[in-house]
Structure 1
Amino acid sequence: MADDTSASETSQNGHQDGDRPDALTRLDETTDALMVLRDSFTDEEPLDTALQRLADTASRALPDADAVSVSLVDLAQPRTAAFTNARLVEVDEKQYSADRGPCLEAGRTLQVVRAVVGEHVDEWPEFEAAAADHSIRAYLSVPVLLPSLQSAEQVHLGSLNIYSYTAAAFDPFDEGLMRLFTMTASATIAGAHRWQRAKDHISGLEQALVSRAVIDQAKGVLMVVHSCTADEAFSMLVQRSQHDNVKLRDVAKALLDSVTRS
């Protein structure tokens, strides 16, 4: 990371404050980044891999983007799923723990949120402190929306967060470019999202089948030992599970393990 002096004068991409590329150049850079993103996606890859590719590509789309992260906020606990600078993840994590900040604001309003560090101390004190600690001077959060298969509405996945050491970074034109960037990328991200959900669903089914097999084997042991019916054996397992506050599968596995050891 650049020191405080260089960070305040020059962005990582080499642009002086007030010496920004013109709109056509910025549009070309964003278009090139989108083409790279489109060509690099595959039909089957983990969601985090796709989001990391999104972060890497977005960091090249804007001249003042010194680092990028992607927050997943469609979960009970938000998390940073991708980043180009591990040290700056703390800026997002402080927002998660405080339940406020531009990253979460972008998700709640579904609007692009630009924050100039120093201007939101009362509104987002945790974000302000963390950003200042890392010499961040401007921060842009763009909601990532995916097309829904069930309705015409879009599904909010998270936020694309862009950090800059340049206070004058991210004007309204950049905000529009990043909105276009995430909208165009959403189709390819949606493929990874569906693949991940399908994979998780299959893993859950496989785990359920394994659990069922273990429980059935334990029931068989109890039926032999106690000369009882399958329902009675199952009731014994349930009672032990409730008494010990242990999952039914774990009770059944412990029983099988004890039989094997004896």
Structure 2
Amino acid sequence: MADETRTFPPSPDHPDDDRPDLVERLDETTEALAVLRDALTGEEDLNEALQRLAETAAKAIVDADAVTVSVLKLDQTHTAAATDQLLVEVDEKQYSADRGPCLEAARTLTAVRAVVGEHLNEWPEFETAAAAHGIRAYLSVPVVLPASERSEAQHVGSLNIYSRTAAAFDPFDESLMRLFTTAASATITSAQRWQRSRKHIQYLEQALESRAVIEQAKGALMAAYECTADKAFTMLVERSQRENVKLRQVAVTLLQTVTRSGEPGNG
């Protein structure tokens, strides 16, 4: 399979001299990656970041008619981003059949190029779905998060490129796609880090809000019963345990009662 993915013979469908030269293609990819870098603020969720990645790759890679991003999570594979939703079916047929170039790239951690019509026995589900959508070539490149001090390198998905030209993609396209998978790794890492930070901030905000409500409820009890702060807190805790309700909710209910009793006509 490895040799096959790197054999790109000329085809009447797409003569080699019709393709931009290597320097031009590299410049276009470099520019696209710069745009991607500037656009990724680190404050997007993972799916939004991967969608932006797919759209950028589709613009930069010659012959790319569409791009999807497959993500592995808990042994389940799904398409997290796509520039053409109709073509997601081609990937989903591979997931359900548990075979195809997308999964081959994931399992071997190498780029896999497939020409539709040449793998009928090997990947019939992929072949049927791709042909139905007019796809003639498909390139899948694995996305791997680099190793860190806390974890080993982790395969998280694949970047999949569709083309309606049988001779699409050559070894240089594969090299360019590796640049995008490197960007994808950074994108995923950034999005995951931001999501963890956002959740942590939300927990802190909730804790501070709960603390403020509880302190207000304690103040109301201290004023009503002329007791200490410790005694007021004990009263809240005892009611929470007796009613099997969270302490914050007990405090909210108490404050609502105090507010209503202080309204005109309730005195």
- TM-score > 0.5 by shorter chain: yes
How far is the alpha carbon of 1:218 from its aligned partner? 9.4
Q: Which residue of 1 aligns with 2:52?
A: 53
Q: Which residue of 1 aligns with 2:233?
A: none
Q: Which residue of 1 aligns with 2:228?
A: none
What are the Cα deviations for residues 202-223 of structure 1, in whole angstroms up to 9, with x where unaligned?
A: 88998xxxxxxxxx9997348x
How far is the alpha carbon of 1:199 from its aligned partner? 5.1
Q: Which residue of 1 aligns with 2:134?
A: 135
C-alpha separation between the residues in 2 aligned to 1:184 and 1:178?
10
1:74 and 1:156 in contact (8 A); partners too:
no
Q: How does 1:147-162 map to 2 (within 5 A)?
A: 147-151=146-150, 153-162=152-161
Q: Which amino acid aligns with 1:28?
A: D
User: Does the C-alpha gap of structure 1 residues 204 and 95 become closer, same or farther in structure 2, counting only changes over 3 Å?
Assistant: farther
Q: Alignment partner of 2:62: what SS?
A: coil
Unaligned runs of 5+ in 2: 1-12, 207-237, 245-267
How far is the alpha carbon of 1:147 from its aligned partner? 2.7
Q: Which amino acid aligns with 2:57?
A: A
Q: Which residue of 1 aligns with 2:38?
A: 39
Q: How does 1:91-102 map to 2 (within 5 A)?
A: 91-102=90-101
After superposition, the CA RMSD in angstroms is 2.7
Q: Alignment partner of 2:73: what SS?
A: coil
Q: Alignment partner of 2:187: what SS?
A: helix
Q: Alignment partner of 2:76: what SS?
A: coil
Q: Alignment partner of 1:189: what SS?
A: helix
Q: Alignment partner of 1:73: what SS?
A: strand
Q: How does 1:158-197 map to 2 (within 5 A)?
A: 158-197=157-196
2:62 and 2:169 in contact (8 A); partners too:
no
1:70 and 1:83 in contact (8 A); partners too:
yes
2:50 and 2:184 in contact (8 A); partners too:
no
TM-score by length of 2: 0.67
Answering whether residue 242 of structure 2 is matched by residue 220 of structure 1, we say yes
Unaligned runs of 5+ in 1: 1-15, 207-215, 223-262
How far is the alpha carbon of 1:57 from its aligned partner? 0.3
Question: Which piece of structure 1 moves more, 62-71 or 191-200?
Answer: 191-200
**Percentage of pairs with the same residue:** 66
List structure 1 runs of 4+ shifted beyond 3 angstroms. Answer: 148-153, 196-206, 216-222
How far is the alpha carbon of 1:181 from its aligned partner? 2.2
What are the Cα deviations for residues 16-41 of structure 1, in whole angstroms up to 9, with x where unaligned?
A: 62222121121111111111111110
C-alpha separation between the residues in 2 aligned to 1:110 and 1:189?
17
